[in-house]
Amino acid sequence: MPLRKLAAEALFAPTLGWNVLLGRMLRVRRWWDRIDDHVVIGALPFPSDVRRLYREGVRGIVNTCREYGGPQGTYARLGIRQLRIGTIDFTPPSLEAVEQAVAFIDDHASRGESVYVHCKAGRARSATVVLCWLMHRHGMSPEEGQRLLLDRRPHVHRRLPARSVVQDFLRGRSGDGRQVPLRADEPDVPNGTTAEGIVLPQASDIERFG
């Protein structure tokens, strides 16, 4: 796992640049897509994106990135809550993290609000969370949720149902219908810093792409 973490950190800048090329310059991929009335999935947000998302009704952020804390100053100014379930790039979030995220989305949905769920590119970590949300909220099977995600956002990871966390989430939901406690108030890793203190790119470093 340490090697995977180091590789993810080393690849952050070049892969972000690739995402910016495809999404901002060539515009062959959308930066985000709405999945249902309460969830928008996409790539990591720049400050200008946050302001647009706010106008779309977004009042919560699920940030699955371990490597990026997000434009927290912009969130604070707009009154947007962030739940950060930091997950190393190229790995799926844990079951506990997914359950926290689904409960967080549920909380906002109960107030008629939307939540933006993102990773770096909006393809895998975030899509795993959103697939589990679709299973929870709409009673979809993993395969049905995958088809909907591909219809709305064609470049999401195509084998999400095979992920063990998705199967574990499915087994948990087929039991006694337990309610997952909301745990959105856990301490966050400071913006741009890993738990080990490694300084990573800040939102201000990449705001020019917004």
How far apart are the C-alpha atoms of 196 and 116, rounded to whole Å?
A: 27
Close Cβ partners of 2 (under 8 Å, ≥ 6 residues apart): none
Residue 91 makes CB contacts below 8 A (sequence gap 6+) with 4, 125
Q: Is 132 assigned a catalytic role?
A: no
Residues in the chain: 210
Distance CA 38, CA 102 (A): 11
- 119, 121, 166, 206: the catalytic one is 119
CA distances from 52 to 31, 45, 47, 55 (A): 12, 10, 9, 5
Q: Catalytic site residues?
A: 119
